[in-house]
């Protein structure tokens, strides 16, 4: 097949090689290799303490790694990344945390417009219009003038997603976004994430929501003890996990 006839491989949004992280004497990440292509949806799972959250926090520089290579959205991040490098990455990477981290003294709309206006990405008027559109997408258009304390947990987390999207990110990171929610609120947040995936957003999600992983993930990354032990499409991971620890992990979820 000619070069013109070949289907172009999507560009990598994240490239990491032999990534290591220590907390004192504790080895949190051990020689992690992972590449995330543009438009790909990755779900990272594993038992508590396996390094999942540390991994995702290294991607946008919240945590500094100690050894290895990391490139995010075309910017190389070293173990001691400069502020300019971190700023370049964070302008292109949105992150949603376990806790909603909304500013309690700002309205929903103000929470969404603060970053794009303060970074010069948009004027106040343009930011207001974009935020209103995104709040409508997460079914919260009528909550724009309320404060976070007036919303349910599920609503607050959807505001957090809209706020991240206001920066027009190339990549969205989710760190256990439903773990702080009551069970009845989980679905509304997962539905929002599914809609984002369906629109082609590049996503890396740390979650124990295996139904979400089956439905959305292009690949499932299984971690334990700071290592990536298995990477596979969801049908292969859930139906025929190769690693003994992965089988034990999935077995524990079935028994839960």
pLDDT tens digits along 18-61: 999 999 999 999 999 999 999 999 999 999 999 999 999 999 99
pLDDT for 51 equals 97
pLDDT at 3 over 60: no
Of 8 and 193, the one with more pLDDT: 193
Q: Which pLDDT band holds residue 89 (cuts at 50, 70, 90)?
A: very high
pLDDT for 6 equals 44
pLDDT tens digits along 112-141: 999 999 999 999 999 999 999 999 999 999
pLDDT for 94 equals 96
Mean pLDDT of the chain: 93
Asked whether the whole model's pTM tops 0.85, one would answer yes
**DSSP string of the chain, one letter each residue:** --TTTSPPPPPEEEEEEEEEEEETTEEEEEEEEEEEETT-EEEEE-STTSSHHHHHHHHTTSS--SEEEEEETTEEE-TT--HHHHHHHHTTEEEE-SS----TTS-HHHHHHHHHHHTTSS-HHHHHHHHHHHHHHTT-GGGTTS-GGGS-HHHHHHHHHHHHHTT--SEEEEESTTTTS-HHHHHHHHHHHHHHHHTT-EEEEE-S-HHHHHHH-SEEEEEETTEEEEEE-HHHHHHS--SHHHHHHHHHHHH-
pLDDT at 188 over 50: yes
């Amino acid at each position: 097949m000619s070069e013109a006839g070949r289907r172009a491989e999507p560009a990598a949004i994240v490239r990491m090689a032999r990534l290591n992280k220590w907390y004192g004497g504790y080895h949190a990440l051990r020689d992690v290799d992972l590449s995330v292509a543009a438009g790909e949806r990755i779900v990272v799972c594993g038992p508590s303490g396996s390094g999942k959250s540390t991994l995702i926090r290294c991607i946008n520089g919240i945590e500094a790694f100690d050894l290895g290579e990391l490139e995010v959205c075309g910017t190389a991040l070293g173990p001691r990344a400069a502020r300019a490098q971190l700023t370049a990455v964070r302008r292109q990477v949105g992150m949603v945390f376990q806790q909603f981290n909304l500013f309690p003294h700002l309205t929903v709309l103000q929470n969404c417009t603060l970053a794009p206006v303060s970074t010069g990405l948009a004027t106040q008027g343009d930011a207001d219009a974009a935020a209103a559109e995104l709040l409508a997408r997460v079914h919260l258009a009528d909550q724009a003038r309320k404060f976070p304390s007036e919303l349910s947990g599920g609503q607050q987390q959807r505001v957090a997603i809209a706020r991240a999207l206001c920066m027009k990110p190339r990549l969205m990171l989710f760190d256990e976004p439903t773990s702080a929610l009551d069970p009845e609120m989980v679905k509304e947040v997962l539905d929002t994430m599914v809609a984002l995936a369906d629109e082609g957003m590049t996503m890396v999600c740390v979650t124990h929501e295996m139904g979400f992983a089956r439905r959305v993930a292009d690949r499932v990354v299984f971690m334990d003890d700071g290592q990536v032990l298995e990477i596979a499409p969801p049908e292969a991971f859930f139906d025929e996990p190769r690693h003994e620890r992965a089988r034990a992990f999935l077995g524990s979820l079935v028994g839960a």
